[in-house]
Amino acid sequence: MEFKDYYKVMGVARDATDAQIKQAYRKLARKYHPDVSKEKDAEARFKDVGEAYEVLKSPEKRAAYDQLGQDYRPGQDFRPPPNWDSGFEFSGAGPGGDASYSDFFDALFGAQARAGRGRRAETQPGRGEDHHAKVMLDLQASLNGGTRSFTLRVPEIDAEGRLVSRERTLNVQVPKGILAGQQIRLAGQGEPAHGNGTAGDLYIEVEFQPDPLYRVDGRDLYLELPVAPWEAALGATVTTPTPGGNVELKIPAGSHAGSKLRLKGRGIPAAQPGDFYVVLQIALPPADGEKAKAAYAAMAAALPFNPRASLGV
C-alpha cells in the first residue's frame, strides 16, 4: 500500500489553517466534481480530493495522520503500525454518500469511519438501496426500442466490510422514445433486500452517442442533406434517409442553403412524436475538367449574380 500525501493532494502546506484547507477543498471540488467538471479523470481526482479533505478537516484525523506521516514520503510502501490510532477519538459520520476511499484511508480510518457511518436512515426496514448509473445509448435504441447490453459498476460491501465495486452486465429492453437526460427504471435491480424486505431499484440515466446522420434536439431530429445547386434552384425529388427508412423528398424550386423542410411526426416516437427536419446544404460540383469549367464559365456569363450584395460591395 502506498503512503498518500493528503497535503500535496490538496496543494496546501503542512501547517495550513482550517480556513486554508477549506478554501483549497472548495476550489478543487469545483474543478473536479464529476457533475460540473469536464476534466479528464475528474472522478478519480475528486475522490482523492474528497478523501484528503475528509482527513484534514477533522482535527482528530488530521492529528493522527500527521503523527503517522512524519516519517513517510508519498509513494513509499506503507503499513500502519499496531495500535497507531490509540489515543485518538474519531467522531462524525465518516465518508458521506457513495464515496469509496483508498486502501490507505481504509487501513487508517476504515473501521472507525464505517462504524460511525452505519446505515442511512431507512423508512422501509429491509429495503435494499436504489442504485444509479449513467450510460451512453445509440439513437436507434430510442427510435426503435430493442435490447441493449450495459456494463455497470456496482458498489458492494465485501466480506471484510470494505466498499468494493464489481462489474455487472445487464440486458435491458430500452423503452422506445427515451430522450437524453431521462432515466430508465429497472424495478428490483438495485441492492438486494436485507432479510425479507424488498430489493432496491436501478435507475439508468441515458445520454445519446453522437449519431452519424442525425442531430437530436429534444424529440426533434435534424439531417443535413447535401443537394446540387440545380436541385435547389429548379426543384427536384431526391432520396433522403430517415429513421423509418429512405423516402423520396420533394425539394421546392428556389430553395437555398439552410432551407428547412419538415417531415411531421418522424422524430423520436411518443404520444406526440417529434418532427424530422431536413436542412439543405448546397454541394458544389468540382470544376475538375474542361466540361465542368465550361459550364461554370457559361453560368458566370449568363447570370448577373453578386453573392456579396448583402455586404454592400
Partner 1 sequence: MPPSDDRAFPGTIFDESAILSIKDLSRMCAVDERHIVEFVEEGVLSAVSVSSEWRFTGDALRRARLAVRLERDLELNLAGVALAVELLEELAQLRRELGARR
Three-state SS sequence of 158-216: CCCCCEEEEEEEEEEEECCCCCCCCEEEECCCCCCCCCCCCCCCEEEEEEECCCCCEEE
Residue 173 beta carbon to partner 1: minimum distance, rounded to whole angstroms: 5
Of the two residues 12 and 174, which places its CB atom closer to partner 1 in the complex?
Answer: 174
∠ CA 185-98-65, rounded to 5°: 175
Residue with cell 483549497: 24
Q: Residues near 122 by Cβ (< 8 Å), separated by ≥ 6?
A: none
Residue 186 beta carbon to partner 1: minimum distance, rounded to whole angstroms: 5
Of the two residues 13 and 136, which places its CB atom closer to partner 1 in the complex?
Answer: 136
- Between helix 42-56 and helix 18-32 the angle, nearest 10°, is 160
- DSSP string over 68-109: HHTT--TTSB--PPTTTTTT----S--S-TT----HHHIIII
Residue 44 beta carbon to partner 1: minimum distance, rounded to whole angstroms: 15
282: its cell numbers: 448546397
SS3 132: strand
55: its cell numbers: 482527513
Of the two residues 185 and 293, which places its CB atom closer to partner 1 in the complex?
Answer: 185
Using CB under 8 A, list all residues that contact partner 1.
22, 25-26, 29-30, 33, 35-36, 46, 50, 96-97, 120-124, 130, 132, 146-149, 170-175, 177-186, 189, 203-205, 208, 210-211, 215-217, 222
Rounded Cα distance, 137 and 111, in Å: 39
Residue 194 beta carbon to partner 1: minimum distance, rounded to whole angstroms: 15
Of the two residues 66 and 205, which places its CB atom closer to partner 1 in the complex?
Answer: 205
Residue 218 beta carbon to partner 1: minimum distance, rounded to whole angstroms: 9
Residue 305 beta carbon to partner 1: minimum distance, rounded to whole angstroms: 29
Of the two residues 193 and 236, which places its CB atom closer to partner 1 in the complex?
Answer: 193
Of the two residues 70 and 171, which places its CB atom closer to partner 1 in the complex?
Answer: 171
